[in-house]
Amino acid sequence: ETGVTQSPTHLIKTRGQQVTLRCSSQSGHNTVSWYQQALGQGPQFIFQYYREEENGRGNFPPRFSGLQFPNYSSELNVNALELDDSALYLCASSLEVTASYGYTFGSGTRLTVV
């Protein structure tokens, strides 16, 4: 059973640019959640996708958007990057939205905005 994989592992972007982060969910999992973890903080919920539809969103502006594909892999897109977007971006998958167990995160993408 393969786990959650994220790419790229590290990324440096310039303020104002756009970035796409990718997540391959664990085999058989149809729900993907994205989190942002700034330095010294706990992860913050960005949004969740269930069967290709957005299923809940945290307190993030519209320039954070996402997609989920038929194979349940997912993308996180961030437009008009700001310095405060520098963070570790985490993806987690689960079998169903109502799964009661804890999420297993991927290894994350470290985004630095300069």
Partner 1 sequence: QKEVEQNSGPLSVPEGAIASLNCTYSDRVSQSFFWYRQYSGKSPELIMSIYSNGDKEDGRFTAQLNKASQYVSLLIRDSQPSDSATYLCAVRSNFGNEKLTFGTGTRLTIIP
Binding site for partner 1 (CB under 8 A): 33, 35, 40-45, 48, 50, 55-56, 58, 88, 90, 94, 97-108
Q: Nearer to partner 1 by C-beta: 18 or 74?
A: 74
Residue 45: strand pairing partners: 35
Q: Nearer to partner 1 by C-beta: 85 or 103?
A: 103
Q: Nearer to partner 1 by C-beta: 38 or 80?
A: 38
- Long-range CB contact pairs, 58-67, < 8 A, 24+: 60/36, 66/34
Q: How far apart are CA 105 and CA 108, in angstroms?
A: 8
